[in-house]
Structure formats: structure tokens, C-alpha cells
Amino acid sequence: MGSTDGIEVRRPREGAAHEVLTPDALAFVADLQRTFGARRLELLARRTARQAELDAGHLPDFLAETAHVRAGDWRVAPVTGDLANRRVEITGPVDRKMVINALNSGATCFMADIEDALAPTWDNLMEGQVNLTAAIDRTIGFVGPDGRDYRLNDRVATIIVRPRGWHLHEKHVWIDGAPISASLFDFGLHFYRNARRLIDRGSGPYFYLPKMESHLEARLWNDVFVHAQAALDIPNGTIKATVLIETILAAFEMDEILYELRDHSAGLNAGRWDYIFSAIKKMRGRADMIVPDRAAVTMTVPFMRAYTELLVQTCHKRGAFAMGGMAAFIPNRRDPEVTNAALARVKDDKERESRDGFDGTWVAHPDLIPTAMAAFDAVLGDRPNQIERQRPDVHVTAADLLALGQTPGQVTEAGVRGNVSVGLQYIAAWLGGSGAVAINNLMEDAATAEISRAQVWQWIHHGVTTAEGTLVTVEWVDGLVDEELAKIEASTGAAFGRFRWAEAAHIFREVALGETFPDFLTLPAYEILD
């Protein structure tokens, strides 16, 4: 495959790493980094320049230079086989027990997450790659502490892998004196190890692509796919990728993103939690775009409704899947009343998505699958999707996508405290190696923690006053951090000492209370992650 000269692995290659990081696999990912790493850095610099334009008051709009793409008569390549029916997809990290349970869950697909639901410790990453291969080979197994033996059923969900986003690097692997792109590392290892295995089983190498902000970033992914397929003598177009529209800038370029990936496209997904975070982050300088408490920012508020309706219309016009957003509720088996109320909200959410034209949706817990499946079965019947539903009734403008200020609701003290508590608990868990964390009956991942800290930053910097009359200031929130930590300690007892609370509090203060706004809380957190 190639030389390993210039490749430095800064962790011992033992255990799972010894199995994963073979010389040929390292040479493959190094080739991807050498071929595409410079373009990735250029695109990240473009993000910074774009943010400066937004901070200067230049609002985003649909691109004049790509109007011909939006007006053109074209469609993406068809998707068939085990990716044609995606009505309920379950998501979760690639730890061994999760992989088995997700594949056995009854969902049509499993989004195997190496991104927001996975804390990227070295062991998590290496073991996750091993687990994916074992799942594809049907050899994966797990014995729990109680002696229960977990094995795959005869019929399992279709695997779709989500690598980390373009903004992240893998600090433990350096190529020619610089850390490798985490996107290329995660994608490259899975593709190199498993593409042939998947094809031989009648499936294929399927991916979810996160955090993109422009069609140029989609073009880079497409070029990576073309290059990787040629390197392994796999026919072009074998890879199928679904792009998460989870940044507000990408919402203005959905047609263009599909066009760039048209030979490899499996559609778009409404990544709702990251989208809310992105909207706050990108528009953070505007006093007319302040949003209320996180709980008030539902899928039916104007700016979220506009984005999802445009996504369905755009996808179906191009023959592509439109995938709905995450239901993050975690059932509380000790409190049936809480569970029943939440399931009713999930039912409403999934029925709305299916009526709007989505072809499938996401859930975070197996207990939500029957509710979500029933909503889509009622609309789809025996059809695998409803791409034929074109939605000519949808007319979304740039102003509609930017209507953050029209979100009903208030900023409350409970909302601020809730954001502080969630942020602290999530960061502490993430530093402890867990990227998907059940907090207050919701599955929190990096995206929801990002909303929590971004809202606090926004409210402080625009001098927001809560409904109770308290001015949201750095000093007040700084005190809330100590108060919420004390509450967490009181409620967790001896378990409190198992987490890195001091470091979590430091990071939360850095990303929520600082003068500048770090793009992602995982960037400073990753520097101290094992």
C-alpha cells in the first residue's frame, strides 16, 4: 500500500490499536492526509473569514454564484438495497454493548457515531474500529457484569458511520510533522478495513458527514471518496453519504451540497441540536437574534420550521432522502407518568415529520423505536420512502431561515441554571470517556452541551435580563457554576469523586463566560482528554 515514513503514532500500538493500525492502514490514511490536508485547512480558514463577515453585519443569503445549480434539472444517483428503507435510525457511540443493542434494536439503520456521541479517547477510537469490523463480520459479542451474553440477531440494522468533523484533528497520529485530520483518520480506517467486507455482505460503506458549512466542504468529501475508492479498486459511487444539515450556513447551500456529492449522496439530515447551536454561534453578535430558554426552541418555531421544510423540498426535488431529527428522550422506567408524557411528545414530533415528507427519522433509545416506526409506517405503508412527494407548497426565504428573533419564549433563571448544570455534567462525563450522557431523561451529547454554553454566552454578551428580573452577567453565572456543582455533589454523593469536576468547570467557564467565543467546546476539552 505504501511507506510508513513520516507517520508518527504517539500512543503505544497495543491491544486494539495493534489490530487497527497496521502498516497498510496507516499508509492509507496518511495518503488521504497528504492529498487533502491542505485543502481542509484552507476551508477552515474560510470559516473564520466567513464568521468575521457575519460579525461585521453581513447576513448570509443564497449564493448568487451557484444560482445555476439551484435552477438546474439534475438528480442524485439512486440509492438501493439495504439503504433504501431508513424510516427509523437509532444513533449511539461505537462501544461494544451499544453496537450490539443498536443493531438488534429493530431500527432500520444504526448511525454508529465516532463524533458527538463518542468521547474521542484513544481507547474509544481504537476499540470502536474493532467493534465495527466485528459487527460486520457477525463475530461481535459482549458479556455484561451480570453474566448476560449479548450477541447479534439474524436480522440487524444497516450500519452508517459518522466520522468526526473537518474542524477536529487526531492528536495521537501525526503525518509529516502535523496531526492528521480526525475526519480523514476515522473515515479512512473504517473504509480501509471494512469497505470490502460490507460489499461482500450485500451492503456498502455508508457515512454520515457532520458539521459542514459550505458546498466546498462537500466537494472536498466527494474528492476524498473518489480518491479512496480508486485506491482500493472499488467502483466510483459505491460510497453513499448523508450530510447532516446542522449549521445555519449549510442551510443556504443544500442544493449545492447535494450536487457536489451527487454520485455519492444518500440525502440530507435535519441535525436539529447542532443546528440550533450553529444558529446561535454564527449570529452571536446580533441583538435581534437572541433565543429564549433551550426548552422553548422546538422544531415548530419559525426558523426551525423553515429549515426543515426547505430540507424536505430540496432533497425530494433531487431524488434524495430527507431524514428527520433526533428524539433524545430517555424513558424513565421508575416514573411511568414522565415516560408517557414524553412519548406523547415524541409521537407528535414523528407524526409531524412523516406528514411533512421526511423519509425517516432518528431516535436515541430503543424504547422510542415503536413510536417512531408507527408514525412512519402510517404514512409510508409498504413504500421504502416518500421521495416522490415534492412539496411545491414550500417557499422559504433567507429571512425565514434567519428568524431566530421570532422564537416565542423567555429567558428564565431556571433556563440559565439548567444550561449550567447540563454543561458541567456533560463536560465532566466527556472528560471521563463518555460522549452520550443521560441527564434529566434526555440523551445529551456534544451538540446539546454546545447549545447550553452558547446560550449562556449570548445572554451575557447582550445583557439579557431573565423573566425574574436578574441581569445575566459573568459574575452571576460564575456563581451559578459553584452552586450547581454543589447540587450535583449533594445528589451524587461518593460518585462525585469519580469525575473531573474542576477541569469541567474550568472548561465551561472558558467556553461560556470568556470574552471570545470558542468555536467548539470539544477543542479545549480535547487537549486534556486522555
Q: What number of other Cβ atoms are within 10 A of residue 368's Cβ? A: 28
pLDDT confidence of residue 2: 55
Query: pTM for the full model?
Result: 0.97
- Closest among 79, 65, 78, 392 to 252, alpha carbons compared: 65
Calpha distance 203→390 (Å, rounded)? 28
- Closest among 165, 74, 81, 155 to 118, alpha carbons compared: 165
Q: Which helix (H) or strand (E) holds 7?
A: strand 7-9
Please give the torsion angle defined by the CA atoms of residues 447, 449, 450 and 455, in that order, rounded to the nearest 10 degrees: 130
Calpha distance 58→60 (Å, rounded)? 7
The phi, psi pair for 194, rounded to 5°, reads -125, -10
Is residue 210 left, alpha or beta, with left meaning phi > 0 and alpha meaning psi from -120 to 50? beta
Q: What is the pLDDT along the chain (530 residues), one digit of tens a residue?
A: 456 789 999 999 999 999 999 999 999 999 999 999 999 999 999 999 999 999 999 999 999 999 999 999 999 999 999 999 999 999 999 999 999 999 999 999 999 999 999 999 999 999 999 999 999 999 999 998 999 999 999 999 999 999 999 999 999 999 999 999 999 999 999 999 999 999 999 999 999 999 999 999 999 999 999 999 999 999 999 999 999 999 999 999 999 999 999 999 999 999 999 999 999 999 999 999 999 999 999 999 999 999 999 999 999 999 999 999 998 788 877 888 888 988 999 999 999 999 999 999 999 999 999 999 999 999 999 999 999 999 999 999 999 999 999 999 999 999 999 999 999 999 999 999 999 888 887 788 899 899 999 999 999 999 999 999 999 999 999 999 999 999 999 998 888 888 999 999 999 999 999 999 999 999 999 999 98
pLDDT confidence of residue 3: 65
- Give the tens place of pLDDT for each residue, 438-472: 888 778 889 989 999 999 999 999 999 999 999 99
First and final C-alpha spacing in the chain: 31
Tell me the Cα Rg of the chain.
Answer: 22
Q: From the centroid of its chain, how far is CA 258?
A: 18
DSSP per-residue codes, 228-255: HHHHTT--TT--EEEEEE-STTGGGGHH
Q: Where do the H-state alpha helices sit in 318-431?
A: 336-356, 369-380, 398-401, 413-431
CB–CB of 247/165 below 8 Å? no
CB–CB of 421/515 below 8 Å? no
pLDDT confidence of residue 333: 77
For the four alpha carbons of 86, 124, 101 and 204, in that order, the dihedral sign comes to positive
Known catalytic residues are 162, 445
Q: Which helix (H) or strand (E) holds 412?
A: none
Q: Which helix (H) or strand (E) holds 294?
A: none
Beta carbons within 8 Å of 121's beta carbon, 6+ residues apart: 433, 529, 530
What is the DSSP code (8-state) at residue 295?
G
